[in-house]
Amino acid sequence: MAVITTSATAEQGESRAAALKPLAIDVAVPIAVYYAAHGLAGLGLAASLTLGSAVPAVRTAAGLLRDRHVNTFALVVLVVNVVGIALSAVAGDPRLMIAKDGALSSVIGGSMIVSVLAGKPLMTAGLRPFVVKGRAAREAAWQRLAAGSAEFRRHERNFTLTWGTVLVAECAAKVVGAYTLPVETMVWLGTVLLGAAIALGVLVGNVFASRMAELVVAEEA
């Protein structure tokens, strides 16, 4: 029995790792490359973002050419990096540089909102592994709910929409603050706004995520 339990646990761990692998490749790797190039190697912002764009660019192109499928996470990271490269060419205006940070948030938030309108909520890929936990029965329950439960799909849309909305709102607040408040104030307030947006996203988003988890567990049972 112990051997069977150990084997099942190992399989669950492998399934969870497989589910998280796309997030690691499409999000974590580009971010790590950017910080290594910019923070450790001392490369400029544009050069660092270009290096960080290599993996999502290849993954996006491969998905389109080989699978006729858009790799959403890779595409979002690529778009964010391209916008960052374009904005990095504008320098010398501290207010514009503060507003630039908000613009990057708006690209991510806007992508989330568009994904909801397109019927493919972007945050689902990140939430799913933590709800399914590598269990085949729970994965099957998720699939059934996604295919036939209007309530489940509504919570799924609202989860991504929550994050998209708070990030776009954070962008708007940062842009307005950049041109109406002293630069010295926005230097610290910009970080506070981002932290507040993330906290609000977690607080409100968790309501929908918890309800989705409850539905999956009930369906599994």
For the record, the structure tokens of 23 come out as 């997030």
pLDDT on residue 194: 78
pLDDT over 90 at 99, yes or no: no
For the record, the structure tokens of 28 come out as 């974590």
pLDDT over 60 at 150, yes or no: yes
pLDDT on residue 1: 45
List b or e across 60-74, with b for residues whose CB sees 16 or more CB atoms inside 10 angstroms.
beebeeeeeeebbbb
Q: Of 26-40, 45-59, 67-81, 160-174, which one has max mean pLDDT?
A: 160-174
Query: What percent of the chain clears pLDDT 70, i.e. is strictly above it?
Result: 63
pLDDT on residue 88: 61
Rounded mean pLDDT of the chain? 76
For the record, the structure tokens of 193 come out as 């706004």
pLDDT on residue 91: 55
Least confident stretch, 56-60, 102-106, 123-127, 152-156: 56-60
pLDDT over 50 at 95, yes or no: yes
pLDDT over 50 at 134, yes or no: yes
138, 216 contact by CB (below 8 A) = yes
pLDDT on residue 116: 93
pLDDT over 60 at 106, yes or no: yes
For the record, the structure tokens of 98 come out as 């503060």
pLDDT over 90 at 153, yes or no: yes
Q: How confident is the model at residue 4 (pLDDT cuts 50, 70, 90)?
A: very low
Give dist(CA 175, CA 109) in Å, integer.
15
Give dist(CA 77, CA 88) in Å, integer.
16
Question: What residue ranges in 56-175 does DSSP mark as E strands?
Answer: none
